Amino acid sequence: MIPKQDLSRRRFIAGGAALAALPLLSHRSAAAEVDVVVVGAGAAGLAATRDLLGRGISVLTLEASSRVGGRAHTDLALFGVPYDIGAHWLHRAGTNPFVQHAKDNGFTAYPAPDTETLYVGDRKATEGEHSAYTAAYENAIRAISAAGRRGRDVSPASVVPDAGSWHDLVHFAIGPYEMAKDFDAFSCVDWWNSDDGSDFYCKEGYGALVAHSARDLDVSLSTRVTSIDWSGSGVAVETDRGRIRAKACIVTVSTGVLANEDIGFVPALPDEMVDAFHGISMGVYDHIALLFDENVLGTGPDEYLLYNARTRRKHSPALMGLLTNVSGTGLTLADVGGDFAMELENAGGEAAIDFAKSELRKIFGAAIDKHLVKAHFTRWGHNTLTRGSYASALPGAYRLRSVLRRPVGERVWFAGEACSTDEWATVAGAHKVGVRVAEHVAMAMR
């Protein structure tokens, strides 16, 4: 995701070796025991794990997939260059702990350049057109901000004036490209309450950075939690590799996974909590990654490329935003979001890649095809371990943000990105939530 106001820019953890030797048991009668179970090893789960271990609390961290990092993951195999399949922008660089981790550990973290090219049809926008787009964009931002500041929990669709010929691009830039949702699917007040700041990039990949930060942590990989029984004094966490008993658990999976009831709770969670899983709903944001053998787009390293087009789809414009020549490589991230991204996912990876190619052909001609070496489409909406890309409040559901942050029975705590007060939908926000919840759990256990 890219920041909202910046237009032009924009592993079984144990408290000791004894616990590490505990097998995950396949018989319910003989459960492993630990102080805290952390469900999920994304940025939030990893941060909570480290914080608890630092307090001498024993932890078992369970991760369904075969790797740590969750939605922050860098792939090297697909293109031979670092490819962030999920998060790429290090938001709020000034307070982002991963910027410091990068600096301390030999990663190449650098400020995101503030360069953008805007196309209208097959030519670059004139200065006048660029100003007109900027004015239309700022007008929309002003309307959403005014509603948000006044606490109006309504959708941008109900407050943003028609932007004329810039309608689709303005809608795309603020909605799908930033919020992973269309204008009718998120709340102005939620948008207003999200914090922002300048961005950094990490040449080796944001996912690589997150994985490196957890290199000394032991996580039980390929261990899927199926249910959490909180009926007794602690919790009994059922997994596909056995049952673990703990005094408390921290659940860091996405609201998409929770809303889909992929993890059962016994007894059932309070209705309001279930409402919160649905109300702070997942948006869809995908990369169509394109590797070119030369600089066919004519842009600089990490330069944005946007284009204006009337897609005749007012609800969810069929547009993409491009981050070109990622960290000086031949990789370009052509990103789509909202309902249109989900339509592409439903149509399949080839359809998405064809879409990107045909859009680029309209601007740069058929030469695009012969310089395209390889492409990949992410399909986060179909990922059963996330069920979407990142979360935001539906119109009218903003108050449910705080519900998500309430512990259940003082032994079940939620701590994914969606539980952040002001940095939700980000890796750093997830990390900070993990640390905060670990502090609360440690206090509750005292």
Ligand X SMILES: Cc1cc2nc3c(=O)[nH]c(=O)nc-3n(C[C@H](O)[C@H](O)[C@H](O)COP(=O)(O)OP(=O)(O)OC[C@H]3O[C@@H](n4cnc5c(N)ncnc54)[C@H](O)[C@@H]3O)c2cc1C
Q: Does 72 bind ligand X (CB under 6 A)?
A: yes
8 Å CB contact between 93 and 202: no
Which of 291, 430 has the CB closer to ligand X? 430
Which of 153, 417 has the CB closer to ligand X? 417
Stretch of residues binding ligand X (CB under 6 A), selected from 84-92, 115-123, 149-157, 158-166 = 84-92
Stretch of residues binding ligand X (CB under 6 A), selected from 25-33, 58-66, 162-170, 354-362 = 58-66
Q: Does 211 bind ligand X (CB under 6 A)?
A: no
Element (H, E) at 319: none
In the complex, least distance from residue 123 CB atom to ligand X, rounded to whole angstroms: 30
Query: How many positions of this chain bind ligand X (CB under 6 A)?
Result: 43
In the complex, least distance from residue 430 CB atom to ligand X, rounded to whole angstroms: 3
Q: Does 42 bind ligand X (CB under 6 A)?
A: yes
Q: Does 74 bind ligand X (CB under 6 A)?
A: no
**Cα separation of 188 and 326, whole Å?**
31
Backbone φ/ψ region at 337: left (φ over 0), alpha (ψ -120 to 50), beta: beta
State how far Cα 88 lies from the chain centre: 9
Q: Please name the amino acid found at residue 393.
A: A
Tell the burial category of 311 from Cβ atoms under 10 Å away from its Cβ (0-12, 13-18, 19+).
Answer: middle
Q: Does 186 bind ligand X (CB under 6 A)?
A: no
**Cα separation of 434 and 444, whole Å?**
15
- The phi, psi pair for 90, rounded to 5°, reads -85, 90
**Cα separation of 394 and 156, whole Å?**
11
In the complex, least distance from residue 187 CB atom to ligand X, rounded to whole angstroms: 18
Which of residues 13, 36, 38, 44 is near ligand X by CB under 6 A?
Answer: 44
Q: Does 179 bind ligand X (CB under 6 A)?
A: no
Q: 228 pairs with which residues across the strands?
A: 237, 265
Which of residues 155, 194, 327, 389 is near ligand X by CB under 6 A?
Answer: 389
In the complex, least distance from residue 41 CB atom to ligand X, rounded to whole angstroms: 5
Closest CA to 56 of 41, 34, 38: 34
In the complex, least distance from residue 284 CB atom to ligand X, rounded to whole angstroms: 9
Q: Alpha helices of 150-270 — where are they, by DSSP H?
A: 167-174, 188-192, 206-213, 255-259
8 Å CB contact between 297 and 383: no
- CB atoms near residue 440 (< 10 Å): 16
- Site residues for ligand X, window 252-311 (CB under 6 A)? 252-254, 257, 262-263, 285, 287
Q: Does 62 bind ligand X (CB under 6 A)?
A: yes
What residues line the site for ligand X (CB under 6 A)?
1, 39-45, 62-65, 70-72, 86-89, 91, 224-225, 252-254, 257, 262-263, 285, 287, 378, 380, 385-386, 389-390, 416-417, 425-428, 430
